[in-house]
Amino acid sequence: MDDIEDGSAVSDMPTNQQSKKQSFIRKIFTMKERTARKMGGVSDDFLETPLDSAIENSCFRSTEPAMSSGEEIQNLRAFVATWNVGGQCPNGNLDLSDFLQVRSAPDIYVLGFQEIVPLNAGNVLVLEDNEPAAKWLALINHSLNGTVDLASKGLKPTASLNGSIYFQKPSFKKIKKTFKRINGKRLKSCNCILEMEKKAAKDSCFRCQEPNVNFDDSSSEEDDDIPQISVALAANQMKYSLITAKQMVGIFVCVWMKKELVQHVGHLRVCCISRGIMGCLGNKGCISVSMSLFQTSFCFICSHLASGEKEGDELRRNLDVIEILKNTLFPRICKTSYSRIPERILDHDRIIWLGDLNYRISLGYDDAKRLVERKDWPSLFDKDQLKKEREAGRVFKGWQEGKIYFAPTYKYPLNSDTYYAEGVKVSKNKRRTPAWCDRILWRGMGIQQLYYIRKEFKFSDHRPVCATFLVQSEVRQKRRASAFNFQMEEDLVPSRTTYYY
């Protein structure tokens, strides 16, 4: 219906239908008026407007909000960490509180692991072992949220005098599902304002925005038939909720967020790219997570690239990055045809890439060893392959990395502080030149790195690398004067504005 005028719009409607619709809307306005008087959120001018006039103006003519909507920027702290754990399975004595910088209370945690299982034929070709992933999730949750009832989360803890956590065959799917719930609800995969359907408009001329968390809706990740598990932690005790967790052979990524932010997360999608044996197995590759927070899109990529320190191996790593960027395609889950939710990595507003990128030092073993013994890290970093490849424009063009002031993170003997074990002879095929294999890069506006460090855990042959970012997210302010947006059915046209909810 083109160019609808107030009078003609009302007169064209059947009398009975018009009467029912105005009666229904009158009830809504009465409820709104009563609520507004209690809350004091509506001006006196609005309350003094005749009811019939308000109905007519709101339903059949005006679709503008009572107050002009605006946007504000919210600054959030994101803690990002990558750690190649060398196939070592954690035990209950491993305290992650210092590693996770719990005292600084970041808003978002993005944690990526590599080699959480040994990269043997059984895990790569047959069936991956997800028991270590369940243990890592339980340990992370223990550090972020404190002591919990592990039995209710799919674990069977064994009592210990020193307070350590011991496990007996935990279920990764049960733990993941439980930690992803907030007050018994799960995150919705898509939380856009749905385009109003004609079927719904037959009974009323408004539609409420759906909530961002729901009892039944789940993310786009695979589901199973495991029954719902009650969360033992009370709502006021739980500080962080698991947004997503995904494993591909040895690569494992999980994203946690403060519980008050979970309702603003949407469009959660996960994509895995295999770049291992023959370019198709999952012993190498990446897991990418796409999501929106308020009105800003985020993408986190956790990768394990091609290994090797022979000359030319850096080109294989470059190819891995190129193929990941080319082949990563997030599924379209948004139900609104006019929403432009990013489907490619580079389409996102804020992007962070973390992992064991495996770039080495372009120096001979003896020359590198001399620089390592003198702790001449700047001279050693000048020969860093990733630095040289980025400067040449062959990989990660347009990406940024913070200044590196820490020692190389690879390779250490287990439980050692030195790269070279004294008195231990290592064959030429097995010895490794120290290198900064573990890195964190970012791309996009609205990201500021606060620090970039490594942590001193002797758990594996790698040291974990951590970074904290200040990330900006656009927040669309809600209208204060009106709870609903009334429109005629014929006026429902898709908006050109992109909404991220």
What pLDDT is attached to residue 250? Answer: 95
What pLDDT is attached to residue 65? Answer: 35
DSSP state letter for 490? G
Does pLDDT of 390 surpass 90?
A: yes
Question: What are the pLDDT digits (tens) for 158-181?
Answer: 434 344 444 455 677 777 766 766
What pLDDT is attached to residue 78? Answer: 98
d(CA 396, CA 400): 8
Question: What are the pLDDT digits (tens) for 337-353?
Answer: 667 789 999 999 999 99
Does pLDDT of 271 surpass 50?
A: yes
Whether pTM exceeds 0.85:
no
CA distances from 309 to 55, 227, 306, 313, 430 (A): 73, 48, 10, 6, 11
Cβ count within 10 A of residue 462 = 23
Contacts of 179 by beta carbon, 8 Å cutoff, 6+ apart: 137, 141, 153, 241, 242, 245
Lookup result for tokens 């033992």: 232
What pLDDT is attached to residue 201? Answer: 39
pLDDT band at 197 (very low <50, low <70, confident <90, very high): very low
Does pLDDT of 5 surpass 60?
A: no
d(CA 101, CA 450): 13
Q: What is the mean pLDDT of the chain?
A: 75
- Which of the given ranges, 52-56, 122-126, 175-179, 240-244, has the highest pLDDT on average? 240-244
What pLDDT is attached to residue 432? Answer: 86
Q: Which of 76, 104, 79 minimizes the C-alpha distance to 466?
A: 79
Q: Where in the chain is the domain with CATH 3.60.10.10?
A: 71-474
Q: H/E/C letters for each residue in 88-142? A: CCCCCCCCCCCCCCHHHCCCEEEEEEECCCCCCHHHHHHCCCCHHHHHHHHHHHH
Does pLDDT of 129 surpass 90?
A: no
Question: What are the pLDDT digits (tens) for 50-65?
Answer: 444 433 333 333 333 3
Contact by Cβ (8 Å): 323, 273: yes
Strand, coil or helix: what is 350?
A: strand
Contacts of 298 by beta carbon, 8 Å cutoff, 6+ apart: 290, 291, 292, 348, 349, 350, 351, 352, 471
What pLDDT is attached to residue 71? Answer: 76
CATH number given to 71-474 = 3.60.10.10
Report, as an integer, the average pLDDT of 392-406: 97
